[in-house]
Structure 1
Amino acid sequence: MQIPVAARTNARNRAGGAARAALASPWWRALLAAAAGALPALAFPEPSLWWFAYVALVPWLLLIRSAGSARRAALDGWLGGIGFMLAVHHWLVPNLHVFILLVAALLGLLWLPWGWVVRAMLSGEPSPARALAAVVVVPSGWLMVELVRSWEGLGGPWGLLGASQWEVAPALRLASVGGVWLVSLLVVAVNTAVALLVSVAAVRVSALVGLLVCALTTSLVWVWAEPPSPVGAVRFAVVQPGIHHGAGGVDRRFDEGERLTRTLIGQDVDLVVWGESSVGRDLGRRPELAERVAALSRAVGAPILVNVDARRSDEPGIYKSSVLIGPDGLTGERYDKMRLVPFGEYVPARSVLGWATSVGRAAGEDRRRGEAQVVMTLPGENGLGIGPLVCFETAFPDMTRRLVRDGAQVVVAQSATSTFQGSWAPEQHASLAALRAAESGRPVVHATLTGVSAVYGPDGARVGEPLGTDYRGTAVYSVPLSEATTAYVRYGDWAVYAAFAVLAALCAVEGAGSFRRSARGTRAPRARRARG
């Protein structure tokens, strides 16, 4: 039976009226803003709907566009930021409990000015020129939010929108030119153009031009930035012993790592990598442990990179350190973790926020920080330079870039996400290594205690099969080497500086416009008095 046209029209009018009523209600609008901000989380692992990232911001953009005032738009930005932070970091609940709501509310404030910028560029009936400008300005504002929250004290660069594209080859090529920042810019630009395309008929041509520019930029980078050429390979082994909690767990983990490493005898490997906190005793106090690892190194025929998480005998405090052990024992090569996980490894402003330890799994004692990054030289004929990172540090693009500029030929990340097994965290963490590999033009070996362990080549492509969270054992990877220097290693965060320049130009234009309007307003009364 065909529904009469009048009935269909009435149904559409009722639906439109309900939508307008929801947007008019501050409570419903707040819920919609938080939900819209949470949508991009689906683009990250484990859902890994990478394609969704290119439209995930559209509902949020349209909601802010409909705001009746700049204050309401800023509020929509804040509430959406809260939804984004909660969705992307929901797996931190075991550590933070209800405290995660406060953290999300504070970090969500970073999206307040972005909401104002979105409304300024998209509201009403923007001109074609303003629509084109929006495709540049809105992503630049988003990138400033990502940059500020990337500071270690605010949680670090976890959940950058560009990182959702870790398995997309054209996006990885973009990362080699401008880092994850350039990928974020392109993703938000596409979202902005799509939002204009579906909401303002008069500027659809401008929106299509914006989409075309994004596509051409990606294509030109794909052609211009050639992938790193391989110059040989090395064989690295990863040891994944699994979870060992409770009394004696530290010693059982070491014993299991030792047992698994013995299975690598005769496999002709160049380096064996244990995960973060694989050694829970200070090797200065327990030299017999160092000798056991040295004996393993002699048996396997390769040095072993362990990670010590213990209170030191020669210095006060607890450090997390990558330590290289060869056939003759400690080589003297050591790297102390520099960037620590807020609440997980230290409590910011502990005198004020120390109560967080009573409601979650926040660190009972702050870990100590290292002072400088280190490039280790493997003993033997090849003298391969490896750049160690520890866990959280793989989220920071600048750390990998510094290691490569200092001569690292392979980046080795030692990690542990045992607290977050069964969540999205292990997959998300492993995916970051793909971005770091593409940015630096160097392979990245991501070795964990409990999975996900994975290896990525110099172009960011995965090497071999990853080791999932249910796997206990070892794996040997043929890791391709490269001597190429990517544009990102050479020029650094130029995409961030470009975004700064765009926003500075916007401020200059808006300031000049305000000055002209003020000047016209001053002249008008004088003219009226003269006529009088």
Structure 2
Amino acid sequence: MQKPDDWLASRWRRSVLAVLAGALPVLAFPGPALWWWAYVALVPWILLARTAPGGRRAAYDGWCGGFGFVLAMHHWLLPNLHVFTFVIAALLGALWIPWGWLVRRTLGGAPSRGRVAAALLVLPSGWLLAELVRSWQGLGGPWGMLGASQWQVAPALRLASVGGVWLLSFLVVAVNVAVAVLVAVRRARVPALAGLVATAAATSAAWGWAPRPDTGERVAIAVVQPGIVAGAGSAERRFDREEQLTRGLAGRDLDLIVWGESSVGHDLDDRPDLARRLAALSRETGADVLVNVDARRSGKPGIYKSSVLVGPEGPTGDRYDKMRLVPFGEYVPFRSLLGWATSVGKAAGEDRMRGTGQVVMNAGDGLRIGPMVCFESAFPDMSRRLAADGAGVLLAQSSTSTFQHTWAPEQHASLAALRAAETGRPMVHATLTGVSAVYDANGARTGPRLGTDASASRVYEVPVAHGTTPYVRYGDWTVYAALLTLAAWGAAEGVRTVRLRRGRPVRPGPPARTAHGSPARPGR
């Protein structure tokens, strides 16, 4: 018989294994970018949860694995948020509690072929449920969605145009489930193989059916990346460097010039001298300049981050105020309760102000652009709305200067490939310090990128695309299908449980006894 101390030690060993298993998928994302690893990375976690002694332990395995997944995906926040990074990982990791329970419910013990077949749909749907809740901006947004690991795989990007990153996550989890069954459940290898074949067939069908973007004319868009500028007076010196790099683009026959996030540190109404310098740059280069102002706005309280278009005569009047702010980086959720985070890390000392709606801008000669600011490029619904509203080119102005020597810049730039493929619109990712990159309407990178060590400007020939992708037209249908799958499975399990209880034989009670305590005889 196992002693309590041994059982406790075993429980903690299991928890550590679950944390490590949950962290494995991070290797599929940039920087390692081992995209193929995503298709087997969940197998250890699945095998662990299916062998749990009970549903409660499996749910705990889900929580521990979720903690490991979130912590590994956001490990680069540790120098800034310190211990609060672990708090966030523990809170968000709880979203995988139902998933861990579902793994044991569908694959635990010696599952029948029917339960394995159900698992191939139910477990990916359960994973999407966790990603859906986590994608709420107040919980950190959709950074690190499993499907985003496939940003450089052309067939996967075609699928993204059909069902968005959600469809990629669903298929990646389905493949992991099938592999786990092949490894651990011999009697159910046939449905597992059938699931893999069905996945391959669906992928091939989507590849052939999904309409390709109709590309025509090209536009010349320049990205200006000043590089690291630190110390006193950094805002002024950064502007000087950006001005110098932009002036060097004169004579290049440009359609648009894009500066990064927080590229201008003063409100242009308060600093008309800066507005005049930007207008002069527009005249010299023959192109409008899209800058990003991070400052208090004249006549309004608070600090805004705003994309502002400047033409030869000055600001054109097109302005977009950032709507979705970075939790703790640009505001502190429930500041009255969590304000202590500012004392243990570099959380925002003052909340930024939010914009109220997305904007499509006219950048001259019929070029319609849809700007987003930094963190917003992680949200597929924002780029989808801009494409539906007529944007021909998507833009993300970003700054990952704080995390310069981590995996964050690479991870952030990779998201633009997904947004481009989902919408069938080219996307420009312009940063202050790298990584800056441009992707065509298929999600393929156009031209060389600007790395984190670059202080330069670069011109990209961007093919403008037309048409509407299925994802733009039908939206997050994969999520709705997953929720319906979970609801149908839950209803079927409920009916099955009721039938089992009704069909269970009634145990005879103890024999009746007489007043003297002896068993009563029949007939008396």
Tell me the TM-score normalized by structure 2.
0.95
How many Å separate the matches in 1 of 2:19 and 2:66?
7
* One of 224, 227, 230 as aligned partner of 2:212: 227
Residue of structure 2 in register with 1:474 after alignment:
457
Q: CA RMSD in A?
A: 1.5
Residue of structure 2 in register with 1:100 after alignment:
85
How many Å separate the matches in 2 of 1:405 and 1:107?
32
Superimposed CA distance per residue, residues 332-352 of structure 1 (whole angstroms, 9 cap, x where no aligned partner): 000000000000000001111
For residue 515 of structure 1, report the CA deviation from its aligned partner. Answer: 1.5
Question: Which residues of structure 1 form unaligned runs of 5+?
Answer: 1-20
Residue of structure 2 in register with 1:345 after alignment:
330
Residue of structure 2 in register with 1:267 after alignment:
252
Residues 27 and 33 in structure 2, CA contact (< 8 A), matched pair in contact too: yes
Residue of structure 1 in register with 2:265 after alignment:
280
How many Å separate the matches in 1 of 2:20 and 2:451?
30
* One of 470, 482, 492 as aligned partner of 1:509: 492
How many Å separate the matches in 2 of 1:488 and 1:41?
26
Partner SS for 2:222 = strand
For residue 231 of structure 1, report the CA deviation from its aligned partner. Answer: 1.4
How many Å separate the matches in 2 of 1:330 and 1:488?
34
Residue of structure 2 in register with 1:112 after alignment:
97
Residue of structure 2 in register with 1:6 after alignment:
none
How many Å separate the matches in 1 of 2:449 and 2:109?
49
Runs of 4+ in 1 over 6 A off after TM superposition: 21-24, 526-529
Residue of structure 1 in register with 2:506 after alignment:
524
Question: Which residues of structure 2 form unaligned runs of 5+?
Answer: 1-5, 512-521
Residues 395 and 427 in structure 2, CA contact (< 8 A), matched pair in contact too: yes
How many Å separate the matches in 1 of 2:220 and 2:39?
38
* One of 389, 411, 416 as aligned partner of 1:406: 389
Q: How many correspondences in the alignment?
A: 507
* One of 110, 115, 118 as aligned partner of 1:133: 118
Residues 269 and 302 in structure 1, CA contact (< 8 A), matched pair in contact too: yes
How many Å separate the matches in 2 of 1:528 and 1:297?
95
For residue 23 of structure 1, report the CA deviation from its aligned partner. Answer: 11
Q: What does 1:303-382 correspond to in 2, within 5 Å? A: 303-379=288-364, 382=365
* One of 396, 414, 418 as aligned partner of 2:379: 396
Opposite residue 366 of structure 1, the aligned amino acid is: D
Residues 211 and 469 in structure 2, CA contact (< 8 A), matched pair in contact too: no
Whether 1:240 aligns to 2:225 is: yes
Q: What does 1:43-192 correspond to in 2, within 5 Å? A: 43-192=28-177
The answer to which of 512-521 and 469-478 deviates more is 512-521
Q: What does 1:195-210 correspond to in 2, within 5 Å? A: 195-210=180-195
Opposite residue 146 of structure 1, the aligned amino acid is: E
Q: What does 1:9-28 correspond to in 2, within 5 Å? A: 25-28=10-13
Residue of structure 2 in register with 1:3 after alignment:
none
Whether 1:458 aligns to 2:441 is: yes
How many Å separate the matches in 2 of 1:23 and 1:44?
35
For residue 525 of structure 1, report the CA deviation from its aligned partner. Answer: 5.4
For residue 526 of structure 1, report the CA deviation from its aligned partner. Answer: 8.9
For residue 247 of structure 1, report the CA deviation from its aligned partner. Answer: 1.0
For residue 243 of structure 1, report the CA deviation from its aligned partner. Answer: 1.3
Residues 95 and 344 in structure 1, CA contact (< 8 A), matched pair in contact too: no
Residue of structure 1 in register with 2:26 after alignment:
41
Residues 23 and 29 in structure 1, CA contact (< 8 A), matched pair in contact too: no
Partner SS for 1:446 = strand
Residue of structure 2 in register with 1:12 after alignment:
none
For residue 128 of structure 1, report the CA deviation from its aligned partner. Answer: 1.2
Tell me the TM-score normalized by structure 1.
0.94
Superimposed CA distance per residue, residues 507-528 of structure 1 (whole angstroms, 9 cap, x where no aligned partner): 101111122123234x735999
For residue 132 of structure 1, report the CA deviation from its aligned partner. Answer: 1.2
Identity across matched positions, percent: 67
Opposite residue 121 of structure 1, the aligned amino acid is: T
Superimposed CA distance per residue, residues 351-396 of structure 1 (whole angstroms, 9 cap, x where no aligned partner): 11111111111101000000000000113xx221100000000000
How many Å separate the matches in 1 of 2:230 and 2:132?
36
Whether 1:215 aligns to 2:200 is: yes
Residue of structure 1 in register with 2:423 after alignment:
440
Partner SS for 1:465 = coil
Superimposed CA distance per residue, residues 71-112 of structure 1 (whole angstroms, 9 cap, x where no aligned partner): 000000000000000100001112211110111001111011
How many Å separate the matches in 1 of 2:261 and 2:496?
55
How many Å separate the matches in 2 of 1:77 and 1:525?
37
Structure 1 residues 74 and 315: alpha-carbon distance in aligned structure 2, compared to 1, 3 A threshold: same
Residues 276 and 416 in structure 1, CA contact (< 8 A), matched pair in contact too: yes
How many Å separate the matches in 2 of 1:485 and 1:288?
42
Structure 1 residues 488 and 23: alpha-carbon distance in aligned structure 2, compared to 1, 3 A threshold: farther
Whether 1:428 aligns to 2:428 is: no
Residues 394 and 433 in structure 1, CA contact (< 8 A), matched pair in contact too: yes
How many Å separate the matches in 1 of 2:102 and 2:8?
20
Opposite residue 388 of structure 2, the aligned amino acid is: R
The answer to which of 264-273 and 90-99 deviates more is 90-99
Structure 1 residues 460 and 22: alpha-carbon distance in aligned structure 2, compared to 1, 3 A threshold: farther
Superimposed CA distance per residue, residues 283-302 of structure 1 (whole angstroms, 9 cap, x where no aligned partner): 11101101100000000010
How many Å separate the matches in 2 of 1:322 and 1:309?
9
